[in-house]
Amino acid sequence: MQALAEAARQLASVSDTPRLDAELLMAHALGISREALLLRHLGAPVPRGFAALVQRRLGHEPIAYITGTRAFWTIDLQVGPGVLIPRPDSETLIEAAIDYFRERAPARILDLGTGPGTLLLAALAEWPDAQGLGVDASDIALDYARRNADALGLAGRARFQKGDWAQGLDAPFDLILANPPYIATDEDLPPEVRDHEPGSALFAGAQGLDDYRRIIPALPRLLAPGGAALLEIGWTQAELVSALVTAQGLAPTVYKDLGGRPRAVRVT
């Protein structure tokens, strides 16, 4: 399809994956999956709205906001402006949780800063007998999380509430997941992140550690015996976050992402 090739050529100026972006936008314009596009519809007429979608991407709007969805782990999530877009790096937390529990299964799961329900819903899909609570300070994020739980058939096992990290929580949890803001306030970011995703979900003080300093002290009272917490980190923060964990009398274990960079700290 010539339109795909031309769109990919244009998008090369704003994206590291221009052909993929073009295919996702074309599939969205046609109302089909990318797989269906590639297998059966490459000869389809170019839909009227495709050019407008390409222009939005050329303005650095994230693909996930344009299409309204993002795949994560084994689930697809609805996303939009006002929520952090799920990223493959965050799947490291789910992989680390599976590694920790092995033949066991966590019964109660807490997701601090749940966003659109990303980590909690992925975990509940992995462990069908588990119940979970997602906490977020954003009403927009919580609305997306509830809609995602309903769409995935997980609403009966997932509860969401507005909150300030772990404040007011006291029930023990077998698994605690958190992807807090961890970017230093003066760090430069790509325009599609800086200009579109919510800063409250990205920035955390001069070192990017402000929210770890609030979350980690609460873990001793929130973790059930034999439980674990998984915290996503920036790839340069493993030692600093591990030191915060050790200061609370807990044991840190660092996990790397698929790129070989430190990406998660397990707390036990």
Tell me how far CA of residue 42 lies from CA of 4, 25, 30, 38, in angstroms: 9, 13, 11, 6
Residue 165 vs residues 50, 102, 109, 197, 225: alpha-carbon distances, Å: 41, 28, 14, 20, 21
Chain-centroid distance, C-alpha 29: 25
Tokens describing residue 142:
């919580």
pLDDT score at 125: 98
pLDDT digits (tens, 9 = 90+) for 19-37: 999 999 999 999 999 999 9
Q: Mean pLDDT of all residues in the chain?
A: 97
pLDDT in tens, 194-231: 999 999 999 999 899 999 999 999 999 999 999 999 99
Cβ–Cβ under 8 Å, residues 144 and 117: yes
Answer yes or no: is pLDDT of 170 > 80: yes
Strand pairing class (262-267; 223-232): antiparallel
pLDDT digits (tens, 9 = 90+) for 97-106: 999 999 899 9
Write the pLDDT tens digit of every residue in 147-163. Answer: 999 999 999 999 999 99
d(CA 135, CA 15): 33
Please, which residues bridge with residue 255 across strands? 264
* Token output for 73: 């782990």
In this prediction, residue 186 carries a pLDDT of: 86
Query: Domain spans of the chain?
Result: 2-59, 73-267
According to the model, what pLDDT value does residue 32 have?
96
Predicted confidence at residue 86, as pLDDT, reads 98
Overall fold of domain 73-267: Rossmann fold (3.40.50)
Q: Is the pLDDT of residue 96 over 90?
A: yes
pLDDT digits (tens, 9 = 90+) for 41-82: 999 999 999 999 999 999 999 999 999 999 999 999 999 999
At 132 the pLDDT is: 98
Q: How confident is the model at residue 171 (pLDDT cuts 50, 70, 90)?
A: confident
Residues 169-181 as b or e (16 or more Cβ within 10 Å = b):
beeebbbbbbbbb
How far is the C-alpha of 80 from the C-alpha of 66, rounded, in Å? Answer: 8
pLDDT reported for residue 225? 97
Q: What is the pLDDT of residue 2?
A: 94
pLDDT level of residue 1 (50, 70, 90 thresholds): confident
